[in-house]
Amino acid sequence: MKAGVVSVQGAAPEHVRALEAAMAEMGMKGSVITIRKAEELEQASCAIIPGGESTTISKLLLRSGLHDLIVKRAEEGMPVMGTCAGCVLLAKEGDEEVRKTGTKLLGLMDMSVDRNAFGRQRESFEAPLEIEGMDSPFPGVFIRGPVIRKVWGDCRAVARYGDKIIMARQGSMMALSFHPELSGDTRIHRALLEMV
Ligand code: GLN
């Protein structure tokens, strides 16, 4: 089993470490690979799209052919998790900033995102989060994260910060406004691996 982290730009190494820790805790055999080209994604059984700069990541995904392949593999059921900028990219709809920057979304999840919703209020912060299906709060680390403004269809909100949706799930996909790879808590990475 190979778990992949899309590593064209952004916070990929932290996700590699978190997946390795999660695998070890689960006693799962496998390895973690970084994904920069289509051939690498072909080998992966699940993938993480990390935080970073969503416009830059979207350009690099298009240029490398990864954009279309991520869509294809996700539609075939490959588990995918997007955190922060990755959450923006998984959405079907973005806000004015997404449109202005010409960011091409993957459009896989039935949700609309507000790209820098938290950035405009508070740049970075930590907060304990109640997540559906978890019996104790998850330490949420937010860094200029997006807010999920609306979900519809098969997409379900599974965590909120105040009245804002900050985590959603749809089939084997998860989108998070925050950074679980920086929390030292591997429950969300384990949830991704459990879907493989
Ligand atoms: N606001 C950034 C963007 O959408 C995401 C920030 C992050 O991933 N930490 O590009």
Of residues 96, 93, 118, 121, the one with CA closest to residue 107: 93
Contact 33, 3 (CB under 8 A): yes
Of residues 93, 76, 191, the one with CA closest to residue 146: 93
Domain 2-194 sits in CATH at 3.40.50.880
Question: Ligand 1 centre and the CA of 52: distance in Å?
Answer: 5
- For residue 85 and ligand 1, the question of a CB distance below 6 A is answered with yes
- For residue 52 and ligand 1, the question of a CB distance below 6 A is answered with yes
pLDDT at 121: 72
pLDDT at 52: 96
d(CA 59, CA 75): 21
Q: Long-range contact list for 69-72, CB < 8 A, 24+ apart?
A: 69/38, 69/41, 69/42, 70/6, 70/41, 70/106, 70/108, 71/106, 71/107, 71/108
- Choosing from 9, 48, 53 the residue with most ligand 1 atoms within 8 A of its CB, the one to mutate for a pocket test is 53
Which pTM was predicted? 0.97
Question: Ligand 1 centre and the CA of 54: distance in Å?
Answer: 6
181 noted as active-site residue: yes
Residues 6+ apart with CB under 8 A from 171: 77, 154
Ligand 1 atom 5: residue of nearest CA: 85
Question: Ligand 1 centre and the CA of 184: distance in Å?
Answer: 20
- Choosing from 8, 48, 84 the residue with most ligand 1 atoms within 8 A of its CB, the one to mutate for a pocket test is 84
d(CA 104, CA 95): 12
Domain residue extents for the chain = 2-194
- Choosing from 5, 14, 54, 87 the residue with most ligand 1 atoms within 8 A of its CB, the one to mutate for a pocket test is 54
pLDDT at 123: 81
Of residues 181, 87, 187, 195, the one with CA closest to residue 137: 187
Q: Is 138 helix (H, G, I), strand (E, B) or coil?
A: strand
- For residue 83 and ligand 1, the question of a CB distance below 6 A is answered with no
Catalytic residue among 84, 87, 155, 189: 84
Residues 6+ apart with CB under 8 A from 22: 28, 186, 189, 190, 192, 193
Q: Is 158 helix (H, G, I), strand (E, B) or coil?
A: strand
| Segments in the chain below pLDDT 50 | none
Beta-bridge partner residues of 128: 139
